Structure 1
């Protein structure tokens, strides 16, 4: 009986279990591996391989989902394209003026005339003068037909200050005819031309000022937050000193200190650069705070133990971790600089005529009677509003797209 029990146990141990088979040496192997059943064994499904995308591609994909930011980006691109080709796109030049059309109202651009047929044209003016105030009163004269063409000859200019040209994108076929799509100012100068030229000055000043503030704030704030100690204390005392200086008296002092032989545009660029050098303190404090919180993180410690140099740790590991805030700060600072230029020029502390900027153009809007007579003098304010709003939308979209936690 005992021998039968041992034989049964031996046979049960030698028989393969369900789902397995005996190998050449008598070992049990899963069914389908080797032997005749290898061909019928199910094959493992191949691993799914997915493509990888760079960080900028991921940012772009997320940015496209922000509709307002995408629209704002196209508006900003269009504005800078206008700035780049300001001479060609302007119907005239900033030097052209005609006192006979002072405060001339905007002319409507038509595409079809009842007698002349299809084609661009504007109507002329009927001008009368008040015998008591000598003010000019303009009325649209529909009987005057002024044909308008594309790529017409007009006031000569130098494209980018290098290429002599006289072709303008749009203008009257007869250069002696009045053409004021957005009206004229007190000297009879075309407002559309002056707004386009003013955009070049205002937007370039914003870029110059922001670039200087961004570089200084990022560099000094990063050094202060990463190294700490005495260097941190020294930089923080400098920041506190600069932040304690009021901006408006500083502008007045700098305006008086700049050599009077400099031109108005050179003077303002000098003051803008100086204020940008002083205005890096806000960015520096933000960068310092982020560096203080990041330098004790595990991935920074791992990079340090791996032998990475300090510049590589800062540039490769720490800065990308809060790039969203830097991008947002950079894009938000440009409209702030534009508004600063506009406010200071409006108050008479910035650019002065004959320089042309949006702030200088708004100086004519200080007179209530002028605004009542010529409300189109407020059009530079509309240009500022559209530009600043579009840049703010772009900044919001870039901040959301670059934020890894959203």
Structure 2
């Protein structure tokens, strides 16, 4: 066997992966690089393939940081999401300045003043350059209950004493948009994870049993899937959301919306699991497990499902965006989450009127994180899907 030159240290060794399996009867021993590839686990091969997809890696890092930020959103937000600044209703975004009259001051904001525009029936805000408010870091500000348990008032950034810092403007009640978007990320992002957990549980169980048993059970499952997929999702979401009693607490509404999204999204996964199990259930290792007395749940969940778990992970990253969009659409239409819960969809509910958007365009800014998160999940899903078959 002709020896191959070693690739650079840390390279994924893809040119070795595509070669025929090593022949143990060959006269020459394996090189260290070949041994590293041929003895690598499936997860290792997936990682080598995944890290070549630069956009997917960047998206994964971005999403990991975003999900980590929802753990400390109370610390990151400069204001409480419920605090009203009645003197600054629908204030435009403020800029952070570094220089004042050619002199370096550091990060600061100018004061705001306004006058009433009786023609447009709105407040016109202007910066008062005579008032300078330095931005404070790691400062004491609005009090909060960290995750509803721990009392605290430490913030990453705070406005100067007596000043304001509305970096993304305020809404119709004078609440800071940036703080509400930071708090809204906790609801909008976690509802996707919980919804996918519900849909994956249903899809793997129902699709796995249908693919393993076949027969009349598979026939019934396929007809149910076809019926569910034939129904338009948005009207069905609206109908199921309207069923929830208006007396429910915000937490119950949150879990109700999550379950509704999960119940509507399990069909695609169930079909994928079914088709995969139909092709795997006749393999030798499955027959061996059956002959050894393994029960059906063990064969399905211990032997069959782990064989294509990488594909399921890739499908999960593609399913999460649909959950986020579902919650955003329902809340935007006023039939999803309701105040006092703060989510991106609830915030976009205020931007339904086009006249309001024309006058106060910053009210539609919550759509920006929705778009960025959806794109990041799609790029991550593409990378995981390509890495799911590292031997290709």
The question of a shared fold, defined as TM-score above 0.5 by the shorter chain, is answered with: yes
Q: 1:309 to 1:355 in 2, by over 3 A?
A: closer
Counterpart of 2:95 in 1: which secondary structure? Answer: coil
Bigger Rg, which one: 1
TM-score, normalised relative to structure 2 = 0.85
1:56 aligns with 2:43: yes
Q: 2:213 maps to which residue?
A: 227
Match of 2:155 among 168, 172, 193: 168
Q: 1:397 maps to which residue?
A: 383
Q: Deviations over 1:122-163 (max 9, x none)?
A: 112231112455421011222220111101111100111111
Q: 2:348 maps to which residue?
A: 362
| Structure 2: distance between partners of 1:403 and 1:141 | 60
1:278 to partner: Cα distance: 4.2
Q: Which moved more, 1:94-103 or 1:218-227?
A: 94-103
1:371 to partner: Cα distance: 1.6
- Which structure 2 residues correspond to residues 189-228 of structure 1 after superposition, within 5 A? 189-228=175-214
Match of 1:184 among 170, 173, 181: 170
| Structure 2: distance between partners of 1:82 and 1:127 | 34
Gaps of 5+ in 1: 1-43
Q: 1:287 to 1:46 in 2, by over 3 A?
A: closer
Q: 1:130 to 1:345 in 2, by over 3 A?
A: same
- Which structure 2 residues correspond to residues 65-214 of structure 1 after superposition, within 5 A? 65-114=52-101, 117-131=104-118, 134-174=121-161, 176-214=162-200
Q: Deviations over 1:237-296 (max 9, x none)?
A: 433443344434433433333233212442242133134134312211121111112223
Q: 1:313 to 1:341 in 2, by over 3 A?
A: same
1:349 to partner: Cα distance: 1.6
Gaps of 5+ in 2: 1-26
| Structure 2: distance between partners of 1:389 and 1:173 | 36
Q: Which moved more, 1:331-340 or 1:97-106?
A: 97-106
Match of 2:246 among 260, 280, 285: 260
1:106 to partner: Cα distance: 1.1
Counterpart of 1:277 in 2: which secondary structure? Answer: helix
TM-score, normalised relative to structure 1 = 0.82
Q: Deviations over 1:24-61 (max 9, x none)?
A: xxxxxxxxxxxxxxxxxxxx976656243222222112
Q: Which moved more, 1:57-66 or 1:320-329?
A: 320-329
> 2:109, 2:132 within 8 Å by CA — same for their partners in 1?
yes
> 1:87, 1:157 within 8 Å by CA — same for their partners in 2?
yes
| Structure 1: distance between partners of 2:383 and 2:239 | 38
Residue-pair matches, total: 362
- Which structure 2 residues correspond to residues 242-257 of structure 1 after superposition, within 5 A? 242-257=228-243
Counterpart of 2:282 in 1: which secondary structure? Answer: coil
| Structure 1: distance between partners of 2:160 and 2:256 | 42
RMSD, matched Cα: 2.4
| Structure 1: distance between partners of 2:164 and 2:30 | 73
